[in-house]
Structure 1
């Protein structure tokens, strides 16, 4: 099955109250774990490549790994650029065969964000490629973008932004944040669902995206720390809040930190339990399985995308 765009996935997700998981990938084992989970659950999926992943693995390697994954499993797959910093990067991956890109101008003034996004939209749409943009700002660090605090998305600006740019989906800020430390340990996590509902009511049927939406499962945090890690105080978005968002206008939920935690916890445990091992397959194998199990859990209990192919 060839790569697809998110259009049909998101149309169905909006109507049926689920979200498509957008999983960040960096290497073969992560891709294999994600694909195995989605195959078992019969779930659509988006494989995301960040600037960091592109630099680490190389664009050609990532593209060929995804080609292998698509050939191996009969699944609808989107290959998406996550947090494209500018027009040039978006153009590069479009020309390399990506079916979806995100142009992240959230750090720019409103008019500059519109101008940069519109430029990407014009090039991408001519090639049949989907464009995600971002309005508002999430706290935390994600690749090249850092913000000390969140700037929630203004509903009026969201409507104007979409109308003027023609972007296909919009990432908004309603209380999620990048990284593993999304909330203080003594703070009650919350998302601004009233803001989400207002934006959705102003743009009926339009797909909304949530970035910074890992839930940071505490079992992975505990296991990492038990085997020499130092990720004390990590706290994510509760799964119940993410499931509620997925039942509304949110059609795409990004997941990156949870993949890293699941993989790292499994590797740390494997190396501690088998200190004489120096065969990477014997610790990357359990790591791949941990990614698969975590993604399957997300599909069933957070995204609600099981059997949505």
Structure 2
């Protein structure tokens, strides 16, 4: 089975009231942990590469790893570019075998966002690739994406119809209260996604797939493991999982998860070295990190996304 696009995945997810997990990948162990979990619960998945991942591992290595995962598991898997900064980056990934790209022109004025998105869409569609765009701006930091709280803003529902019709994008990332990175909200706060915005967007775009970025929940079990074994992570909480599940039952068909994967990998490695300070074999400590990623992803698929058994 070759890599697939997200078109059919999103259609089924919208109709079924669940979301597809879009997991960021950086190396072999992360790819293996995600895909082994998905294979066990028979879930379709999206594996996505950010600017930082492509700098670290190179796009060709990531593509070959994801192709190997398809061969190993037989799952429907999308290879997606996360936060493409410009047309050239998107074109390079399309030419390099990615089946889905995101053009993130959300920092630009509305008409410029449409124009750049449309340019990417035209090239992508000519090559059988789908395009995700973004309207609204999430606060936070993730690789090359850095948006201050002052510059962030919710998506305006009154703009979505014009944006989608003029740009031709295949899915739309919106801002309803999530944020990039692990340090989303301080303990004691009560994060609340703007479901009123999501509902209004879905009314204006019936059947159209919506995407949530910055949706890691910052699992406290992994934070505790890290801190118990020499880490110094400050207190933070993420997006409540019950709110993510509610979003998946509505119009959200793709939920991005990155920071939680990093926490799981780091927890496994720190725990390993605390128990075995004399070890130096990467297969041992990276293997423990991979196991925690597998545990995390399986829980997300079953208890948050609702996509188990949908492959």
Task: Mark yes or no: TM-score above 0.5.
Answer: yes
Q: Does the alignment pair 1:165 with 2:167?
A: yes
> Mean Cα displacement is larger for which, 118-127 or 147-156?
147-156
Q: Which residue of 2 aligns with 1:280?
A: 282
Aligned-pair distance for 1:27?
0.1
Q: Which residue of 2 aligns with 1:214?
A: 216
Q: Which residue of 2 aligns with 1:224?
A: 226
TM-score w.r.t. the length of structure 2 is 0.98
Q: Which residue of 2 aligns with 1:126?
A: 126
Q: Which residue of 1 aligns with 2:269?
A: 267
Distance in 1 between residues matched to 2:186 and 2:261, nearest whole Å: 21
Q: Does the alignment pair 1:252 with 2:262?
A: no
1:24-51 alpha-carbon deviations (Å, 9 max, x no partner): 0000000000010000010000000011
Aligned-pair distance for 1:70?
1.1
User: Secondary structure of 1:14's partner?
Assistant: helix
> Mean Cα displacement is larger for which, 119-128 or 139-148?
139-148
User: Secondary structure of 2:243's partner?
Assistant: helix
1:58-99 alpha-carbon deviations (Å, 9 max, x no partner): 112111111111111110000000000000000000000100
Distance in 2 between residues matched to 1:172 and 1:225, nearest whole Å: 33
Distance in 1 between residues matched to 2:308 and 2:295, nearest whole Å: 14
Distance in 2 between residues matched to 1:179 and 1:217, nearest whole Å: 13
Distance in 2 between residues matched to 1:128 and 1:255, nearest whole Å: 25
Q: Which residue of 2 aligns with 1:59?
A: 59
Q: Which residue of 2 aligns with 1:175?
A: 177
**Equivalences, count:** 309
Distance in 2 between residues matched to 1:89 and 1:230, nearest whole Å: 36
Distance in 1 between residues matched to 2:115 and 2:186, nearest whole Å: 36
- Structure-to-structure mapping, 1:51-130, within 5 angstroms: 51-130=51-130
Q: Which residue of 1 aligns with 2:295?
A: 293
Distance in 1 between residues matched to 2:285 and 2:144, nearest whole Å: 30
Distance in 1 between residues matched to 2:183 and 2:246, nearest whole Å: 21
Q: Does the alignment pair 1:140 with 2:140?
A: yes
Aligned-pair distance for 1:147?
1.4
Distance in 2 between residues matched to 1:68 and 1:307, nearest whole Å: 21
CA RMSD of aligned residues (A): 0.7
Distance in 2 between residues matched to 1:284 and 1:234, nearest whole Å: 25
- Is this contact kept in 2: 1:84–1:90, CA < 8 A? yes
5+ residue gaps, structure 2, are none
Q: Which residue of 2 aligns with 1:10?
A: 10
Kindly report structure 1 stretches of 4+ aligned residues shifted beyond 4 Å: none
User: Secondary structure of 1:189's partner?
Assistant: coil
- The structure 2 residue matched to 1:154, chosen from 150, 153, 156, is 156
Q: Which residue of 2 aligns with 1:41?
A: 41
